[in-house]
Structures are given as C-alpha cells and as structure tokens.
Structure 1
Amino acid sequence: MSGAETLVSVRDRLERRELSSEELVRAQIDRAEKIDALNAFITLLPERAIEAARRSDEERARGELRGPLHGIPITVKDLVHSRGVRTTSGSKIFADLVPEADAPCLRSLLDAGAVLMGKTNLHELAYGVTNVNPHYGAARNPWDTERVSGGSSGGSAASLAAGVGFGSIGTDTGGSIRIPSSLCGTVGLKPTYGQVSREGVTPLSWSLDHVGPMARTVDDVALLYEVLTGVAASSDAPGPLALGIHERYFFDNLAPDVEASVRTAITELERLGMKLVEVDIPEIELQTTCRNTIAFSEASSFHEDNVLARPEDYGADTLELLRLGLLIPATDYLAATRARRPIVRAFRKAFQKIDMLVTPATVAAAPRIGDKTLDNGEELRSGLLRLASPFNTTGFPAVSLPCGFTEDGRPIGLQLAAAPNDEKRLLELARAYEQSQDWSRRAPVI
C-alpha cells in the first residue's frame, strides 16, 4: 500500500482547487471513524471541523488565505489546551477541564489556517512510554494492533501512520515525540528547549518538557515547525557534514534488526557525502539518574495536591511514579540540576567536533501491549527512554524518522540530533536521507 497523502501535497491540491477543505475534512473524519479500533483519539470534533472547513473554503473563494495551513485538518495531543474543547491530559484528574483559551502552540497553527479535527490519546498525564491508558484505553499501533503505539504522544503517531490528520502537536519529556514516531513509522521533531511555547500545555517536568511537530514526512514537520516558531524552513540540500557515531551507549545492546537498519542508514548518509566521526561523551552515563531525579521531582511537585487528595483517580503506574517523586529530597533535586550543567557542557564540547549525532531512535521496535521487556531483553520503560532522553537532559534538538522495518513488519526509527538552534540543518539532513529511501511512502494496511 502506498503512503497516505502528506500535508504538503494536500496544501498544493487545495491551492489548485482540486478539492475543497470541506471535502478533505469530511474524508478525514470518515477515515478516523474507520480506524476507531486504534483508539487514537480521546475527542473527535466532526461538526466543529466541518464548520471550520466551510469557513476556510469561503475565505479561499474571497482570496483571504490565513496562512500555509489554510483549510488543512490537524490534531493535537490532548494535553494541549483548546478553547471550548475538553483537555483531559489522558487523566481522570482533568477529565472535565474545558480551557477558556487555546495554547499558543495550537493558536499558531489555527492562525495559519489549520482546522482542528481532534484531540489525540496519550499516556496518562504524559507519564509513560506505551500509551496504555487506564482511563481511555490503549492507543494501538496501526502496523500491528496488538502492539503499543509508544508514548506518551502515541495517539498522534498512530493516527498519522493510519492516514488521519496531516500533522499534530506532541510533547517530549524523555522521548515522547520521538519514541511513538519511531514505533509507528512517522516523523517527530523535538526542537531545542524553549523554541516552542509550553504555555497552555499541561506540564510533566517543566525543565525537560518540549513541544514539537509530528507528521508523516520531514517536509511536513518542517512546515509545521516554521509555523510554530517563525523560523523559515529550508529546502536546501545539506552540505558535507561531520556525523558523530557514539558507539558506546547509543549502540549498546540493540535489537539486531534495529542495529542492522540503523547501520545501513549510516552507510547511506555516508554515500550522500557525510563524514563519519567517532565520538564519546563520558558524562552521558550520568544523564539517566540526573533526568529521572529532575523529572520525578518536578512531576510530583505539580501533582502533589491531587496525589494526596485523589490517589484513586490515578492509574497504578502513574501513581507509583508520582509517589516516588514525593520521596526525593530537595537536596537530591538540586544536586541533579547541578549535575546537568557538566553534561550539557560535555555535549556542547562534542558538537565542536561534529555537526550532527546519528543514533537509533529506540533500542527495539514496538513491544506487545502488556510486555514488560523489549526485543533486546531490556526493561521496557528504561529501554525505550535510553536513547531519546539525553536530548531532553541537554535540550538539544533531535528528530526521529523511519529507516526500515523488522522481519515481522514493525517500523524502525533513525534519530538525528544537532546543537541547540540548528534545526535548519537537522531537517535538511533528515530530508536528504528520507528522499533517498522509500520508508516514508509505506503505510500500514488498516
């Protein structure tokens, strides 16, 4: 089956008047209903989306285009505040929250003409990597519905892979954009820390949280990134770049099919003119404890009152982590924030020798729902976080994009990371690799 249409392709079709926004939105709502078994949405907005599409068509007929997303249906993770539409954060705690204002990140897409068609499922409070949600059900992987979509932005990745929505907003505290993008075979960008506003987005860990775009192709992600940040995307080919290969840590104990696909991708990048440079960052061994201490402490600080007053309204895994965070002394939290500085300095020093770092996005492909371990034998949660979380600790930008499939048809993701604020070259490199392959043109049969 060939891949679903892309944001860029439907933008061009709308501009050529080959279809109307209302036709497009109605088709997308029909598609969303057909893939309902994936449980990718917490709230679908058919009437609201169709009415917005009609207004878009009327504006287009008058020559009043609002921006590059005019009339295009998108989704957002259901912890992004949306005016007049409940924002559950995948929880009972916020099940009845109806915000009075849009989060600025969502408002930027709407101001550019996007049509909000639904709020996607997520791991409860964004605090997990499977998107097995005790309150709203698991968001399932469209390549194999017995497997997880990844988390915490799993509903966004699953719906995109299944051809629903032409872009989404996700969040990423330890990999929550890139992990589901890897497991579902889509593209997800975690920008530099702070580049996209977190205002109006339910926090997990405010010093680690990132907001970023998710889509089916690099060009689509680049267009969404441009709208979200005002930083112009580039269609240039990347110049010869020095690509860092960090064998220790990033290539330790990978599932064999993941390692094979990623090393083949690295060979292709070399063929495209990139230079490979071996690099090692000793301080990376400190980042897991550092990130966990910060994330656990900040999450529990935000949720403390509800954990004490309404513990029965949390899922078991989320409640366990929140209670753990309440036990961390302030001295440990402060020590972790101090330890973070030399880790960031070490990464900055490494990037004086390289332009990008190339790694697998995840150590293994999607596990089955209910599994406790991954294909490589690693514990599920820590394993899926291991390769993504260093770029939350440091705040460096990173993107996941498809680079192959396992023998049984599960997507495998490649991760590219750059120095802060170097998203332009990061996306140029990602695009060059994507266009040399056909992975992004494949889609699940569902």
Structure 2
Amino acid sequence: MNVLQPLPHTDVLEPTSFIDPGQADARLSARPSTPVEGEQRVAMPIAAGTLDDISAADVGNLLSAYAEGTLDTVAVLDALTSSIATTRAGGEAVLRFVPGAAEAAKESAARWASGTHRPLEGIPFGVKDIIDVAGTEVTSGSHFTGHRIAPADAHVVARLRAAGAIPFAMTATSEFACGGPHNPRYGAVTNPWDVKRWTGGSSTGSGAALAARLMPLALGTDTGGSIRVPSCWCGTTGLKPTREKVSREGVAALSWTLDHIGPMARSAQDIACVLPFMTATPDRQLAKDCAALFGDFDISGLRIGVPTGWFTDNADQAVLTNWKSALEMLENLGCLLVDLPPIDVRPYHEAGWVVLQSELAALHADRADRADLMDPGMLGRLRKGMAFGAKDYARALQERVTAQETFLSAMENVDLMITPGIGGEAGSLETLTVDVNGTSMSFQDLISRNTMIFDFTGFPALMLPTGLGRAALPTGMQIVGRPHAEALCLRVGAAFQAVTAHHCLVPPGAASD
C-alpha cells in the first residue's frame, strides 16, 4: 500500500465571501481566521496599524489591518521593498523584485476598498529562485541558467495569486537547491542573527528575509531539509508538507522523488492561513482543520512520541535543553509524552542521500565538466551521484517503503512525534562547521541528520523555534505527523506559540542593518 496516496477531493469551491469581524474570540484578537474553501471567513480584528508596524506585521496582522483600513497594500509593498533595497539582509536574501508587483498591490487596494477582496488579498510573499514566476528571471542560483525568464507561474504561485497574494521578490537559493553556502553567482546569505553564520539552506534567502522582517511569507523547497534548516537557524517557522501535497509543477527539480514545496512564515498560524491556498488540488478537509485551530488551542489528550538515539545523539546540550523544555510545555498543555521505540534511522538516511545524489546526477551529469562554473558543494554531490550504479539507486528506492512502514509502526500509539531541530546553532560560514558541545561537526554530517528522513518517507514536518542556545542563536524542534496530518502539526505548533514568544524574537538590527 502506498501510504502517500493523495486524499480524495470532491465538490470543492474556492472561498468567495466574507462576514464581519466582530465575532472574534478575544484570545485570537491578533489573528484572522483561516478561510475555509467553499465557506465564509471570519476576519479577526487587531489594533490599528501604522507604517511603523509593517516590518513586524505577519500575515494575520496584515489581513486584519487591511480589513480595518488601517494599512493599505500599496504602502505595505512600498515599505517592504524599501527595506530590502536599503539593508544588508535585503541585498543578500533578495535577488530581484518581481515585475508587476506594484500594479498588483494597487489592484488589491481597490479590491479591499470595493469589498471584492480575496482570502489572501494583498499579502506580499517571496519566492525561492527555483520556483517560476511569470515574466520574472529565475536562475536557480546558477551560472548555467543565464538570464532565464519564466514563461508562466509555477502551480503554487498561481494558486496564491488566485487567492489575492502578491509574489514580489525572488529569494536566494544555493545552486540548484543543492550547493553550499558560498553561492558562485550571488555569494553567501549571512544569518541575520550573526553575519558570521549561515542561514542554512537551500532556502537561504527565504529564511533570512523572514528573520530580518523583510516579508511576512515566503516559499521554499525541501529535499533534505531545505525549508526546515533555515527555519531552525533563523528562528522562523516552516512546513514541509506531505510529499505532493503542493504541486512541483513549475519548480526546478533537484530530486524528483524527494522534492517538496512548502510555506515559510513567522508562525504556525500564518502557515495555517495560507496552506489551504497552496495545495495541488483544493482540500476541503485541510481548510476546515486549519480554520478550526484559530478558534481552539486545546491540545489536551494528544499523545506525543518522544524519540531518542539518532535524533538526539549528535545534538548540542542547549538544543536538547530547549527541546525538553518545549515538551514540558506541551505536557503542561495536556499532552501525554510517550517514549518511542528505538528506530535505526541510519540506513534510511543514507538511502535518502543515494536517491538525492543519483537523481541530481541524472539531471546535471552533463555539466560536470564545467566545474569552474559550479558550486563546490554541488559538484561534490554530483560526482558522488555519478558513481552510484542502477542497483544502488534501486535498492535505495526500495528502502523508502520499509522506512515508511517503520515510522508508521513506531507512531502507531501516538498522534505525532517531536524531535529536536538541527543539532546545533547556526554554523560558521568560514569553517563550514557546527559546534556541538565544543566539537566542530561538518555541515554535511549534521545539517540534514534530523530532516532527510522525512523527505525520504514523505511525512509532513513542521519546524519552529524553541528559544536561544549558548551562542544566543535560535534552536528549534520538529513536529512530525503521519501523511496528510499537516493541520494537526500546525495545531500543536500554534498551541505552543500561543504560550511562548520564541517565534517573536527578532535578530539585532533586523530590517535596519
């Protein structure tokens, strides 16, 4: 049985109408409800916004401020583009602006004024530079692509546009979402928390731009951890959905059996707000479940699986301390913590890398003789992939089903599992190492250790911050569900963020450096 078969979708309508905001629960006064496809949407009021609030405003704040008329879409876009153009973080994280964004903002302002606004009307979002945006240069962070102009929107971009969101900035990526920190075409994206550290990759620009408060929402991709690593190291929130939940159409492939597309934002609630408008096909149940978490933070009775071994062995003590504190907080909220049986993750992790590098080689082997143009990290992975044989690749693919069955069995008596995030705080750009309890570990050995397995199995995984570590840099935890359990992951994330402020921490000098 294929555990990742898409759920059926029938008789689904897009949201078309709104009702007045006065019905908000007081606990949620700073958030709008997520619109349910085919049903009405409740807009939650927030305090009146000013232009000074724009960098701090997230998706929910903006929608409520637009509804109240305290902010308009043109002013928001102008403020964000100005911050990008005048800050170090903006110069590194954003490669170029999307043509037509200003006109789209004017259209959104008119729609708000006329009462014809769509569910995500006027929300600006960044797009990783491997995802097509019509009429925009999309380069995959490589010299090989020249100045390619995308002929049409990727499916996910088209879906968000149809809901009223505005793609306005192309964000940096490592080369073909596979290279190292020092991109040969555009340079490194430094971490807004410490410019000597990396943001994590490969969704480098999306993670940095969110942390620096240059945009409220961005798209990333994840093949070995590329949404979750920068989310962890930048102190933001990112979701890798179930594989194929979001269409890969119009997205440059790295590994066609591992690639995922997902949202990166500042909170689980913001992700819940946009996810129903990103899926490959409209999903009524997902929309209802995401909307429900805005009215109810109760997670009492949920059984949370707590792993050991692979996920905790190579982790800094500060990472583990913050993870354990987060688990205790969830326990205080009524969750039951359950120790998971040991899982031998190593063979699945290694199989995932065989698949990734083999498929990378299938796509890019003809470029291997132009090493002078290629990122060294990508070149190394490409050469490893070229050395694998058909038997290696086939055996690695066979391991996927075993891995899925193993994790489903381990999670049989729990609702979710929660692992530490990345094993150390953001790594050094100079040494390409991460400090773990005083020992320097290479990026390759650590970064994907807790993330690759869920690309390989295709299970949904949400990364969110748990506080600061010994170097005063963000740490994170990863909430993992069974296939298609995105809303449950988000529900627990939102409940945790409702009683903590880790996701509200801002890097020193964000949006003003």
Normalised TM-score (structure 2): 0.83
2:326 to 265, 270, 278: 265
**Matched positions, count:** 442
- Deviates further, 47-56 or 352-361: 47-56
Please list every run of at least 4 consecutive aligned residues from structure 1 whose deviation after the TM superposition is greater than 3 angstroms: none
Kindly state the Cα deviation for residue 409 of structure 1 after the two structures are TM-superposed.
Answer: 1.8
Partner of residue 324, structure 1: 384
1:48 to 94, 97, 100: 100
- Looking at structure 2, the residues matched to 35 and 156 of structure 1 have their Cα atoms a distance apart, in angstroms, of 15
Does the Cα contact within 8 Å between 1:122 and 1:131 map onto a contact in 2? no
| Cα deviation code 1:289-311 (max 9, x no counterpart) | 10011000001101123334x44
Partner of residue 187, structure 1: 237
- Looking at structure 2, the residues matched to 256 and 394 of structure 1 have their Cα atoms a distance apart, in angstroms, of 28
| Cα deviation code 1:158-188 (max 9, x no counterpart) | 1011111111110000110000000000000
1:125 aligns with 2:176: yes
- Looking at structure 2, the residues matched to 280 and 90 of structure 1 have their Cα atoms a distance apart, in angstroms, of 41
Does the Cα contact within 8 Å between 2:357 and 2:384 map onto a contact in 1? yes
Superposition map of 1:313-352 within 5 A: 313-352=373-412
Residue type of the partner of 1:41?
V
- Deviates further, 330-339 or 279-288: 279-288
Superposition map of 1:44-83 within 5 A: 44-45=97-98, 48-65=100-117, 67-83=118-134
| Cα deviation code 1:351-397 (max 9, x no counterpart) | 21111111111000101212232111322122011011111111000
Does the Cα contact within 8 Å between 1:86 and 1:95 map onto a contact in 2? no
Partner of residue 176, structure 1: 226
Superposition map of 1:99-138 within 5 A: 99-128=150-179, 131-138=181-188
Counterpart of 1:288 in 2: which secondary structure? helix
- Looking at structure 2, the residues matched to 44 and 381 of structure 1 have their Cα atoms a distance apart, in angstroms, of 32
Residue type of the partner of 2:137?
R
Does the Cα contact within 8 Å between 2:258 and 2:456 map onto a contact in 1? yes
Does the Cα contact within 8 Å between 1:371 and 1:380 map onto a contact in 2? no
1:385 aligns with 2:435: no
Does the Cα contact within 8 Å between 1:254 and 1:364 map onto a contact in 2? yes
Does the Cα contact within 8 Å between 1:22 and 1:50 map onto a contact in 2? yes
Does the Cα contact within 8 Å between 1:123 and 1:133 map onto a contact in 2? yes
Kindly state the Cα deviation for residue 239 of structure 1 after the two structures are TM-superposed.
Answer: 4.1
Counterpart of 1:74 in 2: which secondary structure? strand
| Cα deviation code 1:426-445 (max 9, x no counterpart) | 11001111111011121112
Normalised TM-score (structure 1): 0.96
- Looking at structure 2, the residues matched to 183 and 421 of structure 1 have their Cα atoms a distance apart, in angstroms, of 26
Does the Cα contact within 8 Å between 2:323 and 2:420 map onto a contact in 1? yes
- Deviates further, 193-202 or 340-349: 340-349
- Looking at structure 1, the residues matched to 268 and 142 of structure 2 have their Cα atoms a distance apart, in angstroms, of 31
Structure 2 residue ranges without an equivalent (≥5): 1-52
- Looking at structure 1, the residues matched to 319 and 67 of structure 2 have their Cα atoms a distance apart, in angstroms, of 40
Kindly state the Cα deviation for residue 312 of structure 1 after the two structures are TM-superposed.
Answer: 2.9
- Looking at structure 1, the residues matched to 402 and 335 of structure 2 have their Cα atoms a distance apart, in angstroms, of 29
Does the Cα contact within 8 Å between 1:166 and 1:216 map onto a contact in 2? yes
1:253 to 306, 314, 330: 314
Superposition map of 1:274-423 within 5 A: 274-308=335-369, 310-376=370-436, 377=439, 378-423=441-486
Residue type of the partner of 2:191?
N
Kindly state the Cα deviation for residue 190 of structure 1 after the two structures are TM-superposed.
Answer: 0.3
1:14 aligns with 2:61: no
CA RMSD between the two structures: 1.7
- Looking at structure 1, the residues matched to 344 and 249 of structure 2 have their Cα atoms a distance apart, in angstroms, of 31
- Looking at structure 1, the residues matched to 424 and 145 of structure 2 have their Cα atoms a distance apart, in angstroms, of 33
- Looking at structure 1, the residues matched to 460 and 357 of structure 2 have their Cα atoms a distance apart, in angstroms, of 22
| Cα deviation code 1:206-247 (max 9, x no counterpart) | 101110000011111111212112431132333411111111
Superposition map of 1:133-282 within 5 A: 133-229=183-279, 230=282, 231-232=286-287, 233=290, 234-235=292-293, 236-237=296-297, 238-282=299-343
> Given the superposition, is the C-alpha separation of residues 82 and 293 from structure 1 closer, same or farther in structure 2, using an over 3 Å criterion?
same
- Looking at structure 2, the residues matched to 258 and 138 of structure 1 have their Cα atoms a distance apart, in angstroms, of 25
